[in-house]
Amino acid sequence: MYVRLILLFTYIITINTQTGSFPDCKSGPLSTFPICDQSLPSRVRAADVVSRMTTAEKITQLVTTAAAIPRLGLPKFEWWSEALHGVAYSPGVAFGGDLPAASSFPMPINLGATFNLSLVHRIASIISNEARAFNNEGRAGLVFFTPNINIFRDPRWGRGQETPGEDPFLTSQYVYTLINGLQRGDDERYLKIAADCKHYAAYDLEDWNGTDRYHFDARVSDQDLIETYMPPFETCIRDAKVASIMCSYNAVNGVPSCANKFILETIARESYHLDGFVVSDCGAVSTIMNAHHYTSTVEDTVAVALHAGTDLNCGDFYSKNTQTALDKKTIVEADIDQALQRTFNVLVRLGYFDPPEQQPYRKLSKTDVDTEEARQLSLEAAQQSIVLLKNTNKALPFDINGLQNKKIALIGPTANATGLMQGNYFGNAPFLISPLLGFELITQSHSINISYAMGCKITDNDESGFAAAIELAKSSDIVIFLGGIDQSVESEGHDRTSIALPDVQLRLIEQLEKVVRTPLHVVIMSGSSLDLSYVSDSNECASLIWMGYAGQSGGLALANVMFGVYNPGGRLPITIYPESYVNAVSMFDMQMRPSSTNPGRTYKFYTGKAIFEFGDGLSYTTFDYSWSNDSLVSKFSIQSLMKNNYNEKNVVGHPYRVNITNTGMVAGDDVVLAYVIPPQKTFNDQTPPLKKLFGFERVHLNVHESTEVFFPFNMQSLLTVAHDGSKWLEPGFYKILIGKQHIHTIHLQGKPTRWS
């Protein structure tokens, strides 16, 4: 959505929305009509209310700020609310009164780093509780434009922080869990809230090298669409049954997404079975004509968007131009009816027309916002998301008792960060615990001196703060540098040109290394990849932590990790590339596989040497894996698999059983990652992935405790996607890896066979 609009919503929003108003089906104008008859199917009820509108009234309902229709008792309705990682500033959300704040959880990139689906579900359930409470108080809508499930394919993308990472399997598992937590609750009769999977499709560029997202035409092969860009949306629509999707600003292979009948109608509705509506990104209908020049008149623009299946316009293009389209006969009224029946069907499923006393979600109130459970969960999520990337000679955790009367210095531009920890699409948090405050809280009952110096800003080359920082470092027993980037560097509407740690921060680190009494500790806040090779290689840097944008309790979570109150277990959901990566491939290149102008994207195809790999992360303890499988090699005939009518979710052989044992000295979490390495030579030279994730599980183990983890291996993990998007079973040896250990091999025998 327009980033400049989001920036207008500062800490106090003065818009008095009417999104908490509901039609009266007891005694209002609609009470005797089928729309209020709960025994009827939701589609029948939706069609009834649409049929009672005049043409002019229908047009007012085609946009996100839908006007009231007093004669029908329909109040004004704002469709655009936000809740990416907590109820957030947006046209439909107003903080104030009895609801001054909402829980601010870590960003999705952090949640991806937890590899913990049960955590994601708990967070989504609390967000939807708070969203409904805001709605019941008239301070939010019922439809929330979240989540962002685009694949984080390029480290320069400004919005990668909004996603759970670079892997389609991880993203698909995340979105399935998240949508269930957002949309489903104790009452299966109703949607708890309506979520929206965005941005459909192949959207992951903001503004780079002279081309912005409004004008970008994503040229994507069928192979990459099917294998990489579409799977999260397929899961969101087909499996999680999301209530809506958002068509994106960009074009896909020459056709603007919101005018693209193939991806909206053929794929989303016919193939994935979307049972909901399509909303445009804000202003995206107008860009069909004004940016992409796909149409030349307003009436044709309305027609191609409606006919493609864009039901709701975020913006005002439909409200201004639909009557013209009717007059010019590029559309008929049935086109409008179809769009409105889809949107009102979702309102019926939300209980919008039904009596409040029979709906538990209508009883949620201010007491369900910022609860003790939500506060604890925010801290827990932040702790689970922190990734320890380096820990030389067990420099961490700090021994709090051994630091009595010692001095710890926190130096750097993010050491006292508050709002920065919220990333983007945030709301008014109930509190924000900076790293500085977190360290003060954890040491308040000990005689430990915590001092702070900014040293430098995030990107400003001003070194005037160096001297004070260096003097503080000289007098301190432990020095922690806290740096990274912020929304001025990566954000909606803004891509990066460099993935290097800002020069001013690197210079300060080099100066600090010369004066510290003990090796330096480095903490990085960012929502994306930064070349951290200097810190990784330096003998003067003892530890390195990536903490993403960790939300309202981020500073306390960091302190808990560094003092050993919590043993870190997060893993990178992205590849951390060398700085030179950005010179090797254009952001316009949507291809995932390596070529003469592309070193390959993500851990699945990147042929270079990563600074840190997808899945990297350390613990304060150690874990040992053992397994008990029937044999080292399992043989399967391709023809027998085809003959038995397997589908993609059928398990091949037996689930892999792996024993995990904590062999260290402290309790901790291990993220167990299961990969398959397909044969690297195929019959039609398809360049298969180097490896691909097919399972993950986060487990907590006490000292010497063991547990068994099961990983089903389904047909989908064996399939190879060809250039034309078709799927094949290829003969050869498929190696199963748990972590980096080869535990089993599947031998497929027979001739290459097309699956679909």
Cis peptide leading into residue 251 (ω within 30°): no
226-240: b (≥16 Cβ within 10 Å) or e: bbbbbbbbbbbbbeb
Instruction: Report the alpha-carbon angle 275-159-308, nearest 5.
Output: 35
Rounded CA separation 605/590 (Å): 13
**DSSP letter, residue 573:** S
3-class secondary structure, 506: helix
Strand partners, 634: 746
Of residues 532, 470, 541, the one with CA closest to residue 502: 532
**Residues belonging to the chain:** 756
Nearest Cα to Cα of residue 144 among 314, 308, 287, 261:
314
Tokens of 55: 């043409």
In this structure, are residues 190 and 139 in contact, taking their beta carbons and an 8 Å threshold?
A: no
- Based on its alpha-carbon atoms, the radius of gyration of the chain, rounded to whole angstroms, reads 27
* Residue at token pair 């008095």: 16
Among 157, 13, 530, smallest CA distance to 545 is for: 530
Considering 281, 370, 495, 531, which one is annotated as catalytic? 281
Token pair belonging to 112: 């991806």
What is the 3-state composition of the chain as percent helix, strand, coil, each rounded to the nearest 5?
35, 20, 45
- Is 281 designated active site? yes
The three-state secondary structure class of 218 is strand
Q: Residue 127 and residue 82: Cα distance in Å, rounded?
A: 11
Closest CA to 727 of 737, 736, 735, 715: 715
Q: Please compute, for residue 531, the number of CA atoms within 13 A of its CA located in the half-sphere on the CB side.
A: 19
Kindly give, in sequence order, each residue whose CB lies less than 8 Å from that of residue 289, ignoring residues fewer than 6 positions away: 295, 296, 297, 298, 300, 301
Rama region for 551: left / alpha / beta (φ>0; ψ in -120 to 50; rest): left
What single-letter amino acid sits at 292?
H
Confirm if 199 and 281 have CB atoms less than 8 A apart.
yes
Say if residues 572 and 673 touch (Cβ distance below 8 Å): no
Integer Cα distance of 234 and 255 in angstroms: 20
Active site residues: 281
